[in-house]
Structure 1
Amino acid sequence: MGHVPQEPIRPEGANFQFQRRERRRVTPRRLDRPRQGLTTPETKHNQSFGAWGEELVATWYREHGYDIVARNWRCRQGEIDIIASSGSVLVICEVKTRANADFGSPASAVDVNKQQRLRRLAAHWLSDNPNSRVSVRFDVAAVIGPKEKVTLEVIEAAF
């Protein structure tokens, strides 16, 4: 039948080390960056500052006769900050909070991609809640300033 070699076939002059499976080297983790999922003091501050802005906007909606249906509603595609209703209108509100207006209005941060994402999220919420209102309106709320001197701007039917 023939000879069956016991050793792997190597090109002439090749070392056996080239036949081994290569292992991927893991780069060491940079110590100056926190690992994903860990919070830093800046992250905690930003989250609490954003939550404070969302609370202000929710209070504004209540004072103007809206019922808060949901806050921070999440699904795989993202999050809706505030869902409010008044009569037959369902309001999807994106809240942007900034300490100052040095980089422009916070509302300008709601770009076309964010608008499309909010539309998809609204459709997903409506599919989960079939008994909901018929008319949907998208608002953007901009909260600017420190807690002592705050400016609140709600842009109704922003897009």
Structure 2
Amino acid sequence: MGSCDSSELNSTRKRVNRSSPVGNPPLATAHSNSPQSPNSRDIGTLGENLVADWLQQQGWEILHRQWHCRWGEIDIIALEREEESAKNQFLPNDRSPTLAFVEVKTRRRGNWDAGGMLAVTTTKQAKLWQTAEIFLSTRPDLANNSCRFDVALVRCEPSRQNTKQILPLTAANSQSAVAGNYLLTLQEYIRSAFSN
């Protein structure tokens, strides 16, 4: 790549929004097959929505969704709420809240990678680690928080309910939600799934 191409690429990167707004990002219909038949990216976003909702129910604050940098993307960046960290009687009261970098793997039945767990290879872990370091360099206010890397495994199956549109996930006090023609279930949430 020539220097002209490189500078053009760098200026393009500067224009790109590095994170989605907090909350559930809307599904991009421009690349959907149809509202009733979302593609793999849409299915992944639905799984991330379910996990983000579940984390909020568990007392976490969602800081970012689909945060991008040159090394990769972090699906969810969540901060333990102060009141939740104070409830943990086994930890000192003066500790800072935990920051969780969450990789979400949403899979349909019959997948090849153990529900997504085998896709979190050592190479993927290294990319997530580098991406998290870059995130922390942009947020020095969070640099002293304890950090962990979590993995959420979501199962996606056809739903018996026949809805005409993709609805926002509502998973109040639940680990499952219906979106469009799909039932999504949080199969497993692995805290501290890997470290450096």
Same fold (TM > 0.5): yes
Mapped partners of 2:110, 2:186: distance in 1: 10
In 2, Cα distance between equivalents of 1:101 and 1:70 = 31
Matched, 1:131 2:141: yes
State the Cα distance separating 1:39 from its structure 2 match: 5.4
Q: Give the 3 Å change call, closer, same or farther, for CA 131–72 of structure 1 in structure 2.
A: same
Tell me the number of residue pairs that the alignment of Structure 1 and Structure 2 aligns: 122
- From 46, 70, 92, give the equivalent of 1:52: 46
Alpha-carbon distance between aligned partners in 1 of 2:141 and 2:184, rounded to the nearest angstrom: 40
In the superposition, the TM-score normalised over structure 2's length comes to: 0.57
Offset of residue 144 of structure 1: 1.1
1:53-83 C-alpha deviation (Å, 9 max, x unpaired): 0000001100100000100001111111000
- The 3-state SS of whatever aligns with 1:158 is strand
2:106/2:115 contact within 8 Å kept: no
Provide the secondary structure at the position in 1 that maps to 2:140: coil
Identical counterparts, % of pairs: 38
Deviation at 1:107, TM superposition (A): 1.7
Distance 1:141 1:150 in 2: 10
**CA-atom RMSD, angstroms?**
2.2
Unaligned runs of 5+ in 2: 1-29, 83-96, 158-181
Q: Tell me the alpha carbon deviations over residues 92-137 of structure 1, each in whole angstroms, 9 at most, x when there is no partner.
A: 0000111114422212210000000000011000000000152001
Higher relative contact order (CA 8 A, sep 6+): 2
Which AA in structure 2 matches 1:57? V
The equivalent position to 2:103 in structure 1, one of 84, 89, 94, is: 94
- Please, which of 116, 126, 133 is the counterpart of residue 116 of structure 1? 126
Q: Which residue does the alignment assign to 1:61? A: 55
Cα offset, 1:148, TM superposition: 2.7
CA–CA separation in structure 2 for the residues paired with 1:81 and 1:53? 10
How far off its partner does 1:152 sit?
A: 2.8
Rg larger in structure: 1
TM-score (norm 1): 0.70
Looking at structure 2, the residues matched to 58 and 100 of structure 1 have their Cα atoms a distance apart, in angstroms, of 22
CA distance in 2, matches of 1:48, 1:145: 12
